[in-house]
Amino acid sequence: MKRIFLNHFLGLVCALGLTPQVTAQELTALARVDAQASGIADGWFGRTDLTLHLSQGVPFRVFTLDAPPRLVVDFREVDFDGLSAQDLIQPGGRIASVRFGAFQPGWSRLVADMAEPMLPQEIGMPVDPDTGRARLEISLKTASPAAFTAAAGTAPDPDWTPAFLSAAAVPRPGADRFTVVLDPGHGGIDPGAEREGVNEKELMLSFARTLAEALRRSGVEVVLTREEDVFVSLQSRVAIAHRAEGDLFISLHADSLEQGGAAGATVYTLSDEASDAATEHLAARHNRSDIIAGADLTGSDDQVAQVLLDLARQETGPRSALLAMHLAEGMAGAGGPMNRRPLREAGFSVLKSADIPSVLIEIGFLSSRRDLANLGDPVWRQGMARGIASGVLSWRDADAARAPLVRQ
């Protein structure tokens, strides 16, 4: 797989009239996708062809990931505006779904979920010497599960190592500062919930900035896990909180959930058992964020995750539960509206920090007509941000008062 990618990358460089020593980072102009000319087509004998027409050639790489089987294409860099998944896939085809978008600054990604294991047989990006237009061509062929698993894995070229494998450096606050880490859910290639032209990733980034301003006005240090529309892995979100030496971690979401008539603000804390079936379903969706973005999770260690979970219960569980109560009271005091059961528990991966009190807040649900209207109202968002800030400050004082008793 690596040899296939390298040969086509060098071919692209030569087609652009550059020398092979030019690195991917030196080619930064955005390529635009021609949606009408692009597509995915199944052929005979287990063959599937993916074709993406671009306004210009760009460096790219192709690899596959297992569990579930996925094809991943990284670009530097492509503008996917105007392209939808329906433009590419065929109902009932060997490619079950496809998503694409920003991944990290300067990087774009396309992830295709396979209905059955397939491996690339031919990869190319011929560039028209007169117009500069390019055409990404990937020919896939049905493969056995064993052959697919053996070939799958992130390409090891260090120049293409995805930034999600390590958390970005964050400024450390002063020793006497109280630091809140805000985590705007989703981002980049992972849009989160979408409803009537509204998507969760943009809404939560905007809300996180509003909440950060409210907290900073109260003298609180604030760090965001992402400052722009980029993908951040679940593991990196927790790592950022640790690097910032956060005093607490708040993950912000506005999901869409038809089960259980979900509506109103809800605060979740960590537990290995969900409060109810709807919450369990919600946690499962959140925990798939890394898979959605095409992350390789084969190195994850379930035993380590269980240890973290146990530590979280012992060290931060009661503090997180108290934080959830103060936040729910603050939001209710700001007018809510609150969910009929505003305090719930589930196994959200992003809450598995062993030493930082952590909660996940669903500000509202895009699947609720009332919540959707509220979330689109900047005045309502300001009020909700003030309510959360009030809850944070109230918890900070209560936690500080309890600290001497805990030490005894």
Q: What is the pTM of this model?
A: 0.82
Reading the block at residue 100, the tokens are 């694409």
Q: What is the pLDDT of residue 6?
A: 37
Q: What is the pLDDT of residue 365?
A: 94
pLDDT averaged over 10-residue windows placed end to end, the chain, 408 residues = 38 37 44 95 96 94 93 92 90 94 89 96 94 95 96 67 50 75 95 91 97 96 95 90 93 84 90 76 79 71 50 74 97 96 90 87 95 95 98 95 68
301: part of which helix (H) or strand (E)? none
Q: What is the pLDDT of residue 310?
A: 59
Reading the block at residue 152, the tokens are 């799958």
Indicate if 150 and 184 belong to the same structural domain. no
In a domain, 21, yes or no: yes
Indicate if 349 and 311 belong to the same structural domain. yes
Q: What is the pLDDT of residue 162?
A: 46
Q: The domain containing residue 7 runs over which residues? A: 2-158
Q: What is the pLDDT of residue 259?
A: 64
Q: What is the pLDDT of residue 170?
A: 61
What total of structural domains would you count in the chain? 2
Reading the block at residue 390, the tokens are 């009030």
Indicate if 147 and 182 belong to the same structural domain. no
In a domain, 153, yes or no: yes
Q: Which residue has the tokens 């038809």?
A: 258
Q: Cα-Cα-Cα-Cα dihedral of 143, 137, 38, 130, to 10°?
A: 180
Q: Which residues 6+ apart lie within 8 Å of 383 measured at CB?
A: 334, 335
Question: Where are the strands (E) in 219-330, listed by range?
Answer: 221-224, 248-253, 265-270
Q: Is 401 helix (H, G, I), strand (E, B) or coil?
A: helix
In a domain, 165, yes or no: no
SS (H, E, C) 366-389: CCCHHHHHHHCCHHHHHHHHHHHH
For residue 293, the domain's CATH number is 3.40.630.40
Indicate if 199 and 238 belong to the same structural domain. yes
In a domain, 144, yes or no: yes
Q: Report which of 181, 173, 174 is spatially closest to residue 355, judged by C-alpha positions.
A: 181
Q: Cα-Cα-Cα-Cα dihedral of 296, 298, 304, 306, to 10°?
A: 90
Final residue of a domain: which of 158, 189, 216? Answer: 158
Dihedrals φ, ψ of 286, to 5°? Answer: -60, -40
Are the C-beta atoms of residues 51 and 145 closer than 8 Å to each other?
no
Bridge partner list, 75: 60, 108
Which burial class, exposed, middle or buried, applies to 59 when counting CB atoms under 10 A from its CB (0-12, 13-18, 19+)?
A: buried
